[in-house]
């Protein structure tokens, strides 16, 4: 046993690392074990090289059930993903789909392969000066090609994992993860089972392919010139010869399930850009807690004289919404008739105003002038009220953006401002509360259209 032998806290299993090999030995009770070792003799890979043949030549004794852990750099070289790049930043730009977070020169981005990682995976190491390595175009396809090639060359059924190095949220240091896979169970879904104490497992899905990738990295090393490792002893991780598996793409969270999709400043900016007026909602109930969190965000808006000029009336029952909207509709119809509108015109306008009626949740933001100053001068008193109105608008904007952050759609409708007395009476509000429109809230019935890009410079004057 090598001098750097380590003992597992669980007892019985021992891990050793010597000569580029790591073992997990079965204990006396016959527990499963595996062995992982790095291959020597892989030459410098060049464009057009057949990786399966190079691996077969380095390790002709591969067996059914082995897993090959292949560093993405050699896959990229074989596929000609080396590009001239005197400016690495430009290469990163070209591979970036979306900036997730930025701090100084460091960028965490989503790249063309759908992976969220530093610098889009563009690498200037282990490649000639003046060039950079891009990730394989489709690492799952690359893994399948290596697997098929090894089956043709050696007649073995193996799994293949293409690996790359990632940093991770909340954790210091780097580790290898799977970016491509073939013939490997990438996720082990344990939900519906039970633990050793009989407790149900309701959220446990193990990233098996990432664990395999990390095991290979322990023996490959980052600068040892050993880009391929073999793991033996876990045949259950390898699928049947005619089953390529779902690929490592299955490890990438969907945007809807990703709670940490953006960095702080990017999340704020994306929430602002993603806030769109939604006029059609599903019947899915709205979480009242989400609305209250949005109200808490609204209260961070600036206000004059250290005041709190915002109040939010939440209409959570269908009865309260119907009473308010019926009373507002009657008042609106009366106004339109006084204006001489025809009955057809009145009916058409009322139909256009039904966005509030179709929402499963309404909020009525109100302005209160508590703490305002009275000057006895029309000009100054008007300016004083305008300050409070601006503060109320800032609160409403915060509220709408926070709702978007909660994945709720909303529409701010000004109608309550035109019948404030009616709204105050129906909702039993104090005389000093001025309704500032109403906000329809719910889950969008369809994805809002993309916001058209606007050139900020067109809205700026510099003096």
Q: Which residue has the higher pLDDT, 17 or 330?
A: 330
Please state the rounded mean pLDDT for residues 313-325.
95
Phi, psi of 449 (to 5 degrees): -65, 150
Residue 255 and residue 402 share a domain = no
Average pLDDT (295-323) is 95
- 314: Cα separation from own chain's centroid: 30
Q: Are the C-beta atoms of residues 451 and 276 closer than 8 Å to each other?
A: yes
pLDDT tens digit sequence for 72-121: 999 999 999 998 877 788 889 999 998 888 877 788 889 999 889 888 88
Question: What is the DSSP track for 320-377?
Answer: HHHHHHHHHHHHHHHHHHHTT--HHHHHHHHHHTTTTTT-SEEEEEEE--TT----S-
Q: How far is 105 from 415, CA to CA, in rounded Å?
A: 47
pLDDT tier, 447 (very low <50, low <70, confident <90, very high otherwise): confident
DSSP 118-143: EGGG-B-SSS-TTEEEPPPS-HHHHH
> Which residue among 228, 261, 294 closes a domain?
261
Please tell me the distance from the alpha carbon of residue 45 to that of residue 77, in angstroms, as a whole number.
6
How confident is residue 149, by pLDDT bands cut at 50, 70 and 90? very high
Q: Around 99, how many Cα atoms within 13 Å sit in the side-chain half-sphere?
A: 16
311 occurs within a structural domain: yes
Residues 357, 455, single domain; the answer is yes
Residues 131 and 141 both lie in one domain: no
Same domain, 423 and 455: yes
What are the pLDDT digits (tens) for 276-294? 889 899 999 999 999 999 9
Which whole number is the average pLDDT over 444-461?
87
- 376 within domain boundaries: yes
- Mean local confidence (pLDDT), 323-348: 87
Would the pLDDT of 31 be above 60?
yes
Per the CB < 8 A criterion, the answer to whether 96 and 262 are in contact is no
Q: What is the pLDDT of residues 173-185, one digit of tens each?
A: 999 999 999 999 9
d(C-alpha 365, C-alpha 435), whole Å: 6
- Residue 275 inside a domain? The answer is yes
What local confidence, expressed as pLDDT, does residue 2 receive? 34
Helix residue ranges, H only, 96-207? 139-154
426 and 372 inside one domain: yes
Residues 147 and 23 in one domain: no
Return the pLDDT at 452. 82
CA-to-CA separations, 64 to 22, 232, 246, in angstroms, rounded: 20, 9, 20
87 and 50 within one domain: no
Which residues are paired to 362 by β-bridges? 315, 440
Question: Which range, of 117-126, 208-217, 369-378, averages the lowest pLDDT?
Answer: 117-126
315 CB-near residues (< 8 Å, 6+ apart): 321, 324, 361, 362, 363, 364, 427
Q: Number of C-alpha atoms within 13 angstroms, CB side, residue 319?
A: 0
At 29 the pLDDT is 57
105-110 contacts at long range (C-beta below 8 A, 24 or more positions apart): 108/263
294 and 154 within one domain: no
Q: Report the CATH number that the domain containing residue 256 is assigned in CATH.
A: 3.30.1330.100
Residue 266, in any domain of the structure: no
Please state, as a whole number, how many other Cβ atoms lie within 10 Å of the Cβ of residue 398: 19
User: Which domain CATH number covers 98?
Assistant: 3.90.1660.10
Q: Give the integer Cα–Cα distance in Å for 209 and 219.
A: 16
Q: Which residue segment(s) compose the domain that 38 sits in?
A: 33-79+137-261
Integer Cα distance of 350 and 204 in angstroms: 51
Whether residues 95 and 183 fall in one domain: no
Query: How many domains does the chain fold into?
Result: 4
Q: Distance (Å, rounded) from C-alpha 74 to C-alpha 44? A: 8
User: What is the rounded average pLDDT for all residues in the chain?
Assistant: 87
Question: DSSP assignment, residue 430?
Answer: -
């Amino acid at each position: 046993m090598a001098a750097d032998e380590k003992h597992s806290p669980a007892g019985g299993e021992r891990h050793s690392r010597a000569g580029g090999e790591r073992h997990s030995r079965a204990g006396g009770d016959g527990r499963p074990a595996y062995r992982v070792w790095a291959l020597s003799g892989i030459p410098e890979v060049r464009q057009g090289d057949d990786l399966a043949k190079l691996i077969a030549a380095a390790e002709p004794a591969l067996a059914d059930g082995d897993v090959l852990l292949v560093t993405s750099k050699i896959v990229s070289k074989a596929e000609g993903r080396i590009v001239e790049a005197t400016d690495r930043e430009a290469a990163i730009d070209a591979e970036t789909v979306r900036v997730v977070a930025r701090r100084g020169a460091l960028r965490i981005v989503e790249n063309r392969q759908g992976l969220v990682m530093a610098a889009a995976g563009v690498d200037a190491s282990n490649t000639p000066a003046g060039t950079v390595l891009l990730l394989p175009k489709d690492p799952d396809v690359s893994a399948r090609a290596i697997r098929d090639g090894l089956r043709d060359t050696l007649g073995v059924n193996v799994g293949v994992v293409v690996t790359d190095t990632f940093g991770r949220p909340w954790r210091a240091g780097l580790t290898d993860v799977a970016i491509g896979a073939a013939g490997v169970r990438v996720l082990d879904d344990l939900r519906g089972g039970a633990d050793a104490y009989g407790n149900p497992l309701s959220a446990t899905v193990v990233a098996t392919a990432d664990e395999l990738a990390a095991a290979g990295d322990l023996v490959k090393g980052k600068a040892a010139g050993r880009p391929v490792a073999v793991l033996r002893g876990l045949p259950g991780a390898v699928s049947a010869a005619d089953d390529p598996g779902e690929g490592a793409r299955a490890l990438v969270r969907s945007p809807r399930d990703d709670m940490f999709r953006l960095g702080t400043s990017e999340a704020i900016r994306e929430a602002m850009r993603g806030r769109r007026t939604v006029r059609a909602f599903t019947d899915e109930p709205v979480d009242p807690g989400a609305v209250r969190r949005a109200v808490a965000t609204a209260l961070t808006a600036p206000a004059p004289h250290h005041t709190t000029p915002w109040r939010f009336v939440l209409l959570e029952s269908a009865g309260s919404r119907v009473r308010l909207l019926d009373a507002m509709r009657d008042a609106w119809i009366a106004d339109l008739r006084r204006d001489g509108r025809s009955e057809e015109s009145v009916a058409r306008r009322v139909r256009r105003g039904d966005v509030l009626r179709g929402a499963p949740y309404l909020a009525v933001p109100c302005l209160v002038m508590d703490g305002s100053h009275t000057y006895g001068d029309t000009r100054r008193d008007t300016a004083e009220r305008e300050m409070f109105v601006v503060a109320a608008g800032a609160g409403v904007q915060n509220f709408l953006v926070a709702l978007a952050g909660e994945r709720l759609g909303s529409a701010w409708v000004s109608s309550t401002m035109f019948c404030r007395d009616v709204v105050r009476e129906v909702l039993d509000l104090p005389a000093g509360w001025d309704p500032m429109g109403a906000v329809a809230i719910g889950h969008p019935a369809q994805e809002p259209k993309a916001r058209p890009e606007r050139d900020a410079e067109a809205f700026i004057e510099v003096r």
